[in-house]
Amino acid sequence: MKIITKLILESFRFAWNALKMNMLRTILSLLGVTIGIFAIISVFTLVDSLERSLKESFNFLGANTILVQKWPWQLGGDGSYPWWKYLKRPHPTWEEYEFLAENVQNAASLCIMANKGGIVVKFENNSSNEVTLIGVSNSYKDVYEVAIEEGRYFTAQESIGGRSVAIIGHRIAEDLFAELNPIGKTLKIKGISYHVIGKLKEEGEGFLDMEAKDDEIITPYHSFTKLYYIGKGKGGLEPDITLKGYDSDLGLIELESEVKGLMRSKRGLKPREEENFAINHPDAIAEFIGATFDIIGIAGWVIGSFSILVGGFGIANIMFVSVRERTSIIGIQKSLGAKNYFILFQFLFESVFLSLIGGALGIFLVYLLSFANLGTLELRLSLNNVFLGLGVSVVIGIVSGIVPAALAARMDPVMAIRTQ
């Protein structure tokens, strides 16, 4: 153990001396490694940040959930969507929601919801525009996260009775009530008074203007249907039924199969008839996003590899020069009993140390980049990417230094000492 520690320290000393004695040459040689690591880690950091932001933006769809809807989602593909096949499908109904609630066995909870965007709400002389009104069953809170900052959620009696109560988002509370406490106040939607019983926690601006709860008002489903028509025809809204499964992939598969059977039974579909409803998976969005960004990550590797190749040749050049300059020292070390592996690892550690310097500089540049203001996108340099950058640097150092180190280890001590 003592000899290994001595070997490493001596290698670091030689590397540091090489860096000081030939500062310009070494910096230029390491520049390729720095740029390569910067390119790869910056792309990976950007990809991870984009992927995280997009997935967080889709959190409103819920985790471990499936949605019963009229229209199936299409992710990827050739861009064609046979909308005419789905146009005449019936939408999910309250009766179907109740039927599923009574019969489904593999769901932790389920709810029905419908929404209307772009509405205006008023309080006295104040108004808030571009509001999304959501009508939900009482079990909505068991399927989706409802982070209430002040007030409360509506009761089962308020839900069943279709009471005009509302839980409002943070932006709406600021627009309408400013410094006032909104709880207990009355706002108006389409001329109908709604009693504010709760206020949601602030979420902040969503990535790429994705849906955010700051702009939402949650109200009981039967109260919502008094304002807006649910059904076919012009202006008719289409509700969704969301079922939350248990925390396992197998549980979701079983839940989907069960829901398909129950929906076919409720709608009286014959065994050979095509389903006239869609079961959509929010998790499929996350998988699609992950697959898309994997391709972008490959592009980052390709871009960075060219710079790393140049950097690798630069380090190899430094090591060949270092071997030539220290040939006589190598001869003296071997004549005093130094083993081949000692000489090999001495130069190999030196190569890795130099490569790590270049890689660390590249990672540091990515760290500085993470402070850049990119609007709603927050760049985060993860520990995984730091370790990846350092790991790649070590590999570059080993590959670049193995040939010069092997040549040094195989030198004849007598010939090496006589070399000037």
One domain for residues 96 and 234: yes
66 part of a folded domain? no
What pLDDT does 377 receive?
67
Q: Does the global pTM surpass 0.85?
A: no
- Beta strand 165-168 with 192-200: parallel, antiparallel or unpaired? parallel
Per-residue pLDDT reduced to its tens digit, 354-387: 888 888 988 898 888 888 776 666 778 888 888 8
Count of domains observed in the chain: 2
**CB neighbours of residue 276 within 10 Å:** 15
One domain for residues 97 and 242: yes
| Amino acid symbol at 167 | I
One domain for residues 269 and 296: no
Of 238, 230, 210, the residue nearest 71 (C-alpha): 238
- The number of CA neighbours under 13 Å toward the Cβ of 26 is 19
What pLDDT does 213 receive?
80
Q: Domain end: 208, 243, 276, which one?
A: 276
Beta-carbon contacts of residue 160 (< 8 Å; ≥ 6 apart): 138, 222
Of 247, 312, 302, 272, the residue nearest 43 (C-alpha): 302
One domain for residues 101 and 11: no
One domain for residues 52 and 188: no
CA distance 229 to 221: 12
Per-residue pLDDT reduced to its tens digit, 226-281: 998 887 767 788 899 999 888 766 667 888 889 999 999 998 988 888 888 888 88
One domain for residues 177 and 34: no
Query: Across residues 107-119, what is the average pLDDT?
Result: 90
135 part of a folded domain? yes
pLDDT confidence tier of residue 3, bands split at 50, 70 and 90: low
* Mean model confidence pLDDT for the chain: 81
One domain for residues 264 and 180: yes
What pLDDT does 137 receive?
92
pLDDT for residue 194 is more than 60 = yes
In 215-343, the DSSP E strands lie at: 216-220, 240-245, 278-280
Residues 372, 345 contacting (CB under 8 angstroms): no
CA quadruple 337, 340, 344, 345: dihedral positive or negative?
A: negative
User: DSSP characters for 22-65?
Assistant: THHHHHHHHHHHHHHHHHHHHHHHHHHHHHHHHHHHGGGG-SSE
Residues 135, 223 contacting (CB under 8 angstroms): yes
Per-residue pLDDT reduced to its tens digit, 323-361: 777 777 777 777 777 777 777 777 788 788 888 888 898
Burial class of residue 377 in the structure, from the number of CB atoms within 10 Å of its CB (0-12 exposed, 13-18 middle, 19+ buried):
middle
pLDDT for residue 18 is more than 70 = no
Q: Domain end: 276, 302, 329, which one?
A: 276
What pLDDT does 209 receive?
52
pLDDT confidence tier of residue 97, bands split at 50, 70 and 90: very high
One domain for residues 313 and 398: yes
One domain for residues 29 and 95: no
Considering 26-35, 67-76, 409-418, the range whose residues carry the highest mean pLDDT is: 67-76
Tokens 């593999």 sit at which residue?
Answer: 106
One domain for residues 147 and 26: no
- DSSP structural state of residue 99: H
Domain around 123: 90-276
From first CA to last CA, the distance across the chain in angstroms is 34
Core vs surface per residue 54-83: b (16+ CB within 10 A) or e: beebbbbbbebbbbbbbbeeeeeeeeeeee
What pLDDT does 60 receive?
56
